[in-house]
Amino acid sequence: MSLTLLDVQRIAHLARIRVDAAEAAGYQSQLNGIFGLIEEMQAVDTTDVAPMSHAQDLSQRLRADEVSEPDRRAAFQAVAPQVENGLYLVPKVIE
Amino acid sequence: MTDTIKSLSSLLTEGKTSSVELCQDYLARIERLNPALNAFVTVDAEKTLLDAAAADALRAAGNAGPLTGVPIAHKDIFCAEGWLTTCGSKMLSNFVSPYDAHVIEQFKAAGMPCLGKTNMDEFAMGSSNETSYYGPVRNPWDPSRVPGGSSGGSAAAVAGRLAPAATGTDTGGSIRQPAALTGITGLKPTYGVVSRYGMIAFASSLDQAGPMATTAEDCGLLLNVMAGFDPRDSTSLERGKEDYTRDLNLPLAGLKIGLPREFFGAGLSGDTARAVEEAITQLKKLGAQTVEVGLPNSNLSVAAYYVLAPAEASSNLSRFDGVRYGYRTPEYKDLTEMYEKTRAEGFGSEVKRRIMIGAYVLSHGYYDAYYLQAQKLRRLIAQDFVEAFKQCDVILGPTAPTTAFKLGEKTADPVEMYLSDIYTIAVNLAGLPGMSLPCGFDAQGLPIGLQLIGDYFAEARMLNVAHQYQMASDWHTRAPTL
């Protein structure tokens, strides 16, 4: 497998990371190197192997549907880039 | 100053020193040595001394626990209320945490003052501490060399005696590999033993916090503080409290040590192989027996890891978008541009590479070939350990294939850097506990690490083996001249 420059730009957009043309070439060669390492996996027959998503076979713990957190909105919004009247400000999304 | 936290605790109990005095000594050493080592991102003497005074007051009132007043440094991946918490990234270069991680709460409850926040690879992605936005950490044994990573600041701080102990996190070797490269003792517990609440997430199915110190005994004492059930981490295990130091003094007679043949093959440096062999001889003298075991799928662990960890990272790091905390690009036209520029400017290149790998392997049409295949290999790798532990009590081998390498030596080729973790990654994939302890020096005077791998929840047994080895050797007492 080999990623093209177009692939790199597509992945970068999926990941919401701006990559300019000059950087894309660098990432292309590095990512292809890493995928070269990853390709070793394909040589193994895993037909009847159950995928392992986690170190322990746990089921998700549930809790009562009750308010458990205190209101710390002011403290949490104090570290936000831009807030107003308790709301996070972002550029206009809907025209 | 080669004090263990055990010895510092005794000094405090006997009234021979105070927490304030201890913290002042360490802060002075940090002030003198940190400019050259760059082990700390943030030091705040005023805060540390307030913690220390509070610890001394607790002791005066007769309310001290065993470690009250003993200072500790924290990896900058742990959110600590009122402390800058950067995770080694420009993205969080302005983030003063509004809350404490569970691990931080536990150390506060034990009355242990915070000496500062230690440098690390950005978002814990790296094996040399060279990806930090705050610059590389230098190895105290040789400043032209790396301390390993990602917990490189914690490792260098303990190795240089800038702190008696520090916290670390280990996703693919990030406690054990830097411990090996700096000649200290570090332990990664069984997955789920220490809560990940407030520990900035890299790969959630692999991340686990643990102690870094000069001795196995200290690691046991620190794990007693760190471990425990926390309902705020959905993967925290509901297990009773245990004393991880309970078996330290058991004799090793009858201990069966498994030696995986795959860990002693090509790629292992001669000096490291020799030091590990000598450690095995020493353990045999203490009554241990060895048995050869096989981990036939471990050669696939690096490949599987570089699918799974980036996949989880791409999801976890999507939260850094310039909206709720951290860095936001100064100029943008619309929301997409704000996201893309914020992330392009806020993340360094290793983090971007891993996010992109993750986004790709999870994308439509590639999921089965990469992510699912890696999860299946993870099962095979974990099963190898289950089989091996039928024949032995602990598994032993080298922690890293070489001793500390030069700054810049592996930065041009990510794949070469990734292979630094070839002996540690399988342990994370399986979720097993592992540790590294010093077992000698190479021809250039650089420390060599011995890795022990325990069965699930066998931390106490592993610490027993390490402690008995340290009672019969003195590698862990060697400190660099600074």
Query: How high is the pLDDT of residue A43?
Result: 92
Query: How high is the pLDDT of residue B1?
Result: 46
Indicate whether A28 belongs to any domain: yes
Catalytic residue among B9, B89, B97, B174: B174
Indicate whether A76 belongs to any domain: no
Indicate whether A15 belongs to any domain: yes
Query: How high is the pLDDT of residue A15?
Result: 97
Query: How high is the pLDDT of residue B361?
Result: 95
- Tens-digit pLDDT profile for residues B253-265: 999 999 999 999 8
- Tens-digit pLDDT profile for residues A57-72: 777 788 899 998 899 9
Q: Does B200 touch chain A (CB under 8 A)?
A: no
How many structural domains compose chain A? 1
Torsional sign, CA B237, B238, B241, B247: negative
Query: How high is the pLDDT of residue B325?
Result: 97
Establish whether this prediction's ipTM goes over 0.85: yes
Q: Does A41 touch chain B (CB under 8 A)?
A: yes
Q: Does A70 touch chain B (CB under 8 A)?
A: no
Query: How high is the pLDDT of residue A93?
Result: 86
Q: Is there a catalytic annotation at residue B75?
A: yes
Interacting residues of B440 by C-beta distance below 8 A, sequence separation 6+: B271, B274, B275, B278, B279, B447, B448, B475
In chain B, residues with a C-beta closer than 8 Å to the C-beta of A35 are 357
Query: How high is the pLDDT of residue A1?
Result: 66
Rounded to whole angstroms, the Cα distance separating B32 from B170 reads: 29
Query: Given B323, B326, B344, which is nearest A18 (Cβ)?
Result: B344
Query: Given B339, B343, B376, which is nearest A49 (Cβ)?
Result: B376
Q: Please judge whether A41 and B235 are an interchain contact, meaning their C-beta atoms are less than 8 angstroms apart.
A: no
What pTM, to 2 d.p., does this model score?
0.97
Number of alpha helices (DSSP H) and beta strands (DSSP E) in chain B: 15, 11
Chain B segment 385-414 residues within 8 A of A by beta carbon are 413-414
Cis peptide before B204 (omega within 30 of 0): no
Residues of the domain holding A17:
5-43
Indicate whether A18 belongs to any domain: yes
The helix (H) or strand (E) run that includes residue B114 is: strand B114-118
Indicate whether A13 belongs to any domain: yes
Q: Is B158 in contact with B435 (CB distance < 8 Å)? A: no
Tell me the one-letter amino acid at B318.
S
Cross-strand pairs, B199: B78
Kindly report the nearest CA distance between residue B399 and chain A, in angstroms: 21
Q: Using alpha carbons, list the distances in angstroms from residue B175 to B168, B414, B421.
A: 6, 20, 11
Q: Does A64 touch chain B (CB under 8 A)?
A: no
Indicate whether A27 belongs to any domain: yes
Q: Does A94 touch chain B (CB under 8 A)?
A: no
Rounded to whole angstroms, the Cα distance separating B452 from B462 reads: 7
Mapped onto helix, strand or coil, the DSSP state of residue B4 is: coil
Give the nearest chain A residue to B81 (CA atoms).
A75
Ranges in chain B, pLDDT < 70: 1-2
Mean pLDDT for chain B overall = 97
Rounded to whole angstroms, the Cα distance separating A52 from A54 reads: 6
Chain B segment 327-346 residues within 8 A of A by beta carbon are 327-328, 332-341, 343-344
Q: Does B63 touch chain A (CB under 8 A)?
A: no
Indicate whether A35 belongs to any domain: yes
Indicate whether A33 belongs to any domain: yes
Token pair 């922690």 in the structure block, residue: B399
Q: Is there a catalytic annotation at residue B150?
A: yes
- Tens-digit pLDDT profile for residues A20-74: 998 999 999 999 999 999 999 999 999 999 999 888 877 778 889 999 889 999 9
